[in-house]
Amino acid sequence: MEAYDELLHWAQDQGIEVHGIKPKRIPGRGIGIVASKDLKANERLIYVPTSSFRALTTVRPKIRNALPPPAPKNKGTPIHALLAADLFLERPSVTKKYAPWHAVVPTREDVFSNLPLAWPSLNYEKLHALLPFNARAHLTKQKAKFEKDWQLIRDVLLPALEISPNKGRYSKQDFLYHWLLVNTRTFYHETSMTEKLSKDDKMILQPVADLLNHSDGGCEAAFDPSCFTISADRDYKQGEELYICYGKHSNDFLMVEYGFCPEKNRWDEVCIDDVVLEEMTEQEKERLDGRGFLGEYMIDERTPGGCYRTRVALMLKCVRVEEWERLVEEGEEVPRLVDGVVVRVLRKYLKRCKEVIGELEDFGAAGEMVLRRWRQIERLVEKSLEQLEVGSR
């Protein structure tokens, strides 16, 4: 029997209802979910009762008792770390219970080849430095989060269970694999047990639904304290892939969190803080900070001339300070005069894109995803420049 068929049988025994869909291997996306028959909009496709989640309640007591309990305001042990520890320390008897799920989740090789946090140390520093601004910032934060969780596992959990860390199966790399599995497969869900915890802690794993790939739109996901459901957002033809939206994320975020960088993404945007801030004197930065306009300068397909924050910041370069203060105070539209400054800054950014692309072209397979990302950015900047230049004629 195929691993997917076994998963579906197993899921049925867990009370999970699956209707009109089936898992399928999809080139470049691992496993995904396709329609096994024609589907109508609003048909319920997956029903997962709370009892079949892997959540705080299913983390084995010996693990929960050894670690500080999760607490509001990100105090205590993150649920992420608890779920990852539960998978990391699974004994064969437990694994047996979840064997059909383990048989279909990505292997270590799959996970490590896609996710930046798992880049081999030799490449990590170099590629990290070549990431676009927001991807770099996000990866730095993610790394800090992982290191903190690993410290808790190594220094508190493993000693409490009398397991020696850094040995084979209990190594940091092995924890990283399970931590990334959790990171890429959890869903947001809230119960009375988790309502006081931070948003990041309201996470659960749910077999079958976690096989849905992401797109910038897709099926409807809904939950209440008793279950999680996925319904068709439109009619589907048999064989079509179904997606859900993991969130309105940019490609920089998707690349770091999930290890892929789609060509089509209506939520994509690019942060150009490095080039905008290079333009500013210390005094100008202070002024921007004082008005709450320091950083987060974005461009996207809909705003070729930059977001409001970008335009406000660059306005400092083309109007007198008193006029700038007045326009900001009154929330007035930024004058078209700023377009000239935006063009100059975007040309500088485009030059930088091309330099990084040149470096990444020599990097080989390890840098492929980052290269693809920079090429997307290059296209976006070129398009923005074209539109600004046409607009100024």
Ligand X SMILES: C[S@@+](CC[C@H](N)C(=O)[O-])C[C@H]1O[C@@H](n2cnc3c(N)ncnc32)[C@H](O)[C@@H]1O
- The residues of the shown chain that bind ligand X, judged by CB under 6 A, are 28-32, 105-106, 114, 184-185, 210-211, 213-215, 258-260, 262
- According to DSSP H, which parts of 153-249 are helical? 158-160, 172-185
Nearer CB in complex with ligand X: 178/185: 185
The one-character DSSP state at 162 is T
Nearer CB in complex with ligand X: 149/210: 210
Sign of torsion, CA 130 355 253 236? negative
The amino acid sitting at 313 is A
Nearest 10 degrees: CA dihedral of 200, 112, 260, 386? 110
Sign of torsion, CA 119 122 125 128? negative
Helices 308-315 and 338-361: crossing angle in degrees, nearest 10, is: 110
Nearer CB in complex with ligand X: 106/367: 106
Nearer CB in complex with ligand X: 30/367: 30
Residue whose beta carbon is closest to ligand X? 30
CA-CA distance, 163 to 155, in Å (whole number)? 11
Minimum CB distance to ligand X, residue 95 (Å): 17
Minimum CB distance to ligand X, residue 222 (Å): 17
Which residues lie across from 222 on neighbouring strands? Answer: 229
The amino acid sitting at 300 is D
Nearer CB in complex with ligand X: 212/388: 212
Strand 241-244 to 213-214 pairing? parallel
Minimum CB distance to ligand X, residue 49 (Å): 19
Nearer CB in complex with ligand X: 218/305: 218
Helix (H) or strand (E) segment spanning residue 324? helix 321-329
Minimum CB distance to ligand X, residue 259 (Å): 5
